[in-house]
Structure 1
Amino acid sequence: MASSSSISTFSYTTTQIPIFDGYHYEYWSSQMETIFISQDLWTLVDEGLAEPPQEGSSSNWSEEDVKDYKQNVQRNATALRIIQQGVSKSIYPRIFSIKKAREA
């Protein structure tokens, strides 16, 4: 005989993203900044992603520079995903084609 449980399943995440719907930007922005700081993404969002040197330039990147850049590209994608999740369907088309968190 199968027993039924009276315990309800409740799912909660402390990283729930607030949704910006066009109103109260300062409130939403403050919450988003806190999320980015907690994920160690704020500097990337605030200052932007450094671009690699152009082909043939006199500045050569070390393997460590390349590794750091690749990690920052991934971190940028994470921050951009959070921003994309944090806007309503009516706001999203405004940032649809943006590829850098700083620009979104």
Structure 2
Amino acid sequence: MTTTNSNSIFSHTTNQISVFNGEHYDYWNSQLEIIFITQDLWEVVEEGYAERQSQKDASCAEDKEKSYKENVMKNATTLRLVQQGMSKVIYPRIFSVKKAKDAWEILKTEF
């Protein structure tokens, strides 16, 4: 559900993620950055996450697999929030992106 106010520069969804429509990028960026920080996701935006590597040592393979899965989940959560914050006009620019860091970089360079 989206609500709008004629005095507002953004429309807000029920979970309060601002929808970026191509204007006021710095304002939108700062709001999402705070959301990411409060959900311990900012590192995914800044650094991305490591791809899976082959496991030679079986004793630490389980720990590495668990860590990898956690990183994949954090990336997906972060990317979902970025996607939710896109208007239908802006979203196609990041449609095929699979990493939150890459989506964030595209938006940062274009706006």
Structure 2 counterpart of 1:85, one-letter code: Q
Matched with 1:63 is 62
Runs of 4+ in 1 over 6 A off after TM superposition: 57-60
CA distance in 2 between counterparts of 1:44 and 1:81 reads: 12
Which structure has the greater CA radius of gyration? 1
- TM norm structure 1: 0.78
Higher helix share: 2
Matched with 1:42 is 42
CA distance in 2 between counterparts of 1:59 and 1:48 reads: 25
Matched with 2:85 is 86
Which residues of structure 2 form unaligned runs of 5+? 1-12, 104-111
> Which of the pair has the greater relative contact order for Cα pairs under 8 Å at 6+ separation?
1
CA RMSD of superposed structures (Å): 2.0
Three-state SS of the structure 1 residue aligned to 2:31 is helix
For residues 7-30 of structure 1, give each alpha carbon's deviation from its aligned partner in whole angstroms, at most 9, with x where no partner exists. Answer: xxxxx96x4101111111111100
Counting matched residue pairs gives: 90
Q: Percent same amino acid at aligned positions?
A: 57
- TM norm structure 2: 0.73
CA distance in 1 between counterparts of 2:16 and 2:79 reads: 15
